[in-house]
Chain A
């Protein structure tokens, strides 16, 4: 018990130093938590994907279309529940810096395959009825102050010309892991205009979203779909929604690697700050440790004393850091346009990881001073001049 008391007293002996150390650790923990949150946000599309959804796209790459006629052929495959489809529309709203995804979708089925987007039934009806209606996520509506009935002008690039869409519905994301910045309108509306203005481009579908009955069948059904269109002019590649989303971030793996690397550096910095403090403290107390040994305290006690103090400091720093992470992430998600990181929240695993690393660092940081204290003989210790 006495050792515990001494441990806390020791931690408070250099109040300023202890305070600075705690501050340093907490700031590093905040940075760690923030970085992990960015990585989480990067993977949000992958995490959002459902096991019972497949995506079929052109096997050359995402930018090439598939014929509309594929739809019925896919729908006939046993185990397929609903086939929906979408096109990347692109375009510019106001100017190029105002980015949010804009897609032409099948109004009838899109919310059947994406039940995580919750649309009030009357709004959904209104959206389905009007040819140039659009539906958007609540986060997007909030960012631009869009209301139902607003007309949104878009300048097309892939689909050249001026386009206008009337907001008829606003969906709520089911929970905070769901993207609330999508912008959907009728595929048919776009297709009809293409038929008139750019003949030859009608009937283009960007990708099919297939809802299946049994997630265990996904591999078989994917193969069946791709076999249907083998050796045609538009061969397909079908994969689970998860794999499809992973393909998207595959290209940016460099950034993920960078972020992961930096979060390790952060742990290194925490270690340096705390290690430095512990080494200095233990060095100053060399004489005291010798006295303790003389009175009869064993090596175990010294170990407990030093490691305990280190743990107390790192636990306090870690806890403070975790508390500060929330407001910081909150500020960041307000400061940055919602469409950059549609899903931005602190994952529970992030907290656990940050907490664990603070504790591990607490132990590691005390190794060196403990070893030094145990090695120093009583006589040398008593003779030590700081």
Chain B
């Protein structure tokens, strides 16, 4: 016969303070666990959403990021003659050679602290390649002028990156003529200008950092890769789906955060398990007479064991619910960090995925089981006569 659920729940309420403390402990662990995974997922999702799988991004094979890649104008010529490149309505190939550099700007609210911001020089096709880039305020920069447009997250976070301000770099003054919005991908943390202006200002000659083009047909990636492998002039370069390229930029950061986070939460969980164990042992010790009575009434050892295990699960699940409830509010928080992949500031939002919720619940169940198992065994093994006699 099963012990009624009501009994289990009400015994949790008898010692409210201890129950609350234990639940709080589990909640803290689940909160930290969830928020770390959310952060790692947030970075990954932001960068995954940056590239399109219809686009191909070409960079130097050995380059760790766009800024350390160099593609000279003759190589650009070879790439632009690939037959797989899509053509726009005007009949021109949709291909953009980008110059990517980072500049230092002062971060708002850090008392003069500086951080790196990506500046991308693009050609006209870039706006066909990345249609998500839309001017929100001001206007588009003029080709051939030292003007730039700024992603909204940069305008929010850096001094002097607002509409109408001027930025001095490369011996020239650049005017910010527009703010753009991309819907929260990596391009939102960049500044864009005319590529030939940037090549000129930075004395890059005709060379680019990376080259991006649209494929006429999205399943031609293998053909493009083969063309790169076969052409002697393209041996040092690598063509990748743009989506994959940007996703890889998140790899180091998101792995770093998850490894550190998991290491920490494993430690934390041991603390929470011990807390639950102490609580459950005390529950058993305090209710010895009660357990004896239950057993005398005819409840089986197994029922007692189950009852105590359920009690422990309830504790940990309540903790998990509280922890995740708190963590879910982080979804409204936008933060930014230096991304090692691009060596510059990236704004992202904490992302709560179904997997994170799933892992969090599993984690809580494991904690409840580990904390409640031994005490429940002790409860189940109590001798009826001795239990009833104890004071």
Contact = CB atoms under 8 A, between A and B. Distances in A.
Contacts of B278: 17, 20-21, 24, 273, 276-277, 280
Interface residues of B, number: 64
A233 B274 CA distance: 63
Contacts of B21: 272, 275-276, 279
Contacts of B270: 24, 27
Interface in B54-106: 60-64, 67-70, 101-104
Given A157-B68, A158-B68, A269 B271 contact: yes
Nearest to B170: A60
Nearest to A340: B256
Contact of A160 (B116, B236, B282): B236
Given A20-B278, A276-B22, A155 B61 contact: yes
A382 to B, nearest CB: 15
Contacts of A31: 264, 267-268, 271
Interface stretch (B142-150, B220-228, B332-340): B332-340
B62 A269 contact: no
A200 B207 CA distance: 12
Given A20-B274, A251-B337, 19 more contacts: A20-B278, A21-B274, A28-B268, A31-B267, A34-B263, A60-B169, A60-B170, A61-B116, A63-B67, A90-B62, A157-B68, A250-B113, A250-B338, A251-B116, A252-B337, A265-B28, A265-B268, A266-B271, A269-B25
Interface string A155-176: 1111010000000000000000
B280 to A, nearest CB: 11
A246 to B, nearest CB: 8
Interface of B: 15, 17-18, 21-22, 24-25, 28-29, 31-32, 36, 39, 60-64, 67-70, 101-104, 107, 110, 113-116, 169-171, 202-203, 205, 236, 257, 260, 263-264, 267-268, 270-272, 274-275, 277-279, 281-282, 285-286, 335-338, 343-345
B103 A276 contact: no
Nearest to A328: B267
B309 to A, nearest CB: 18
Contacts of B281: 16-17, 20
30 contacts: A14-B285, A17-B278, A24-B270, A30-B267, A34-B263, A35-B264, A60-B104, A60-B169, A62-B102, A62-B104, A64-B170, A90-B68, A91-B62, A92-B62, A96-B64, A232-B171, A250-B113, A254-B337, A258-B36, A259-B260, A265-B31, A269-B271, A269-B275, A270-B271, A272-B275, A273-B278, A276-B275, A276-B278, A277-B278, A280-B18
Contacts of B60: 157, 160
Given A250-B114, A280-B18, A255 B257 contact: yes
B69 A269 contact: no
Given A258-B39, A262-B32, A63 B70 contact: no
Contact of A269 (B29, B103, B170): B29
A253 B338 CA distance: 8
A338 to B, nearest CB: 16
A31 B262 CA distance: 12
A251 B115 contact: yes
Contacts of B116: 61-62, 251
Contacts of B205: 200
A60 B21 CA distance: 53
Interface in A33-53: 34-35, 38
Interface in A233-287: 233, 235, 237, 247, 250-255, 258-259, 262, 265-266, 268-270, 272-273, 275-277, 279-280, 283-284
Contacts, number: 160
B295 to A, nearest CB: 20
A272 B64 contact: no
B279 A24 contact: no
B268 to A, nearest CB: 6
A266 B268 contact: yes
Contacts of A78: none
Contacts of B32: 262, 265
A33 B29 CA distance: 17
A269 B114 contact: no
B68 A262 contact: no
Given A17-B278, A250-B113, A28 B271 contact: yes
Contact of B64 (A157, A200, A265, A268): A157
A251 B345 contact: yes
Given A17-B281, A63-B102, A273 B68 contact: no
A386 interface: yes
Contacts of A158: 68, 70
A31 B267 CA distance: 6
B67 to A, nearest CB: 6
Contact of B282 (A38, A237, A270, A280): A280
Contact of B18 (A34, A251, A276, A386): A276
A319 B47 CA distance: 44
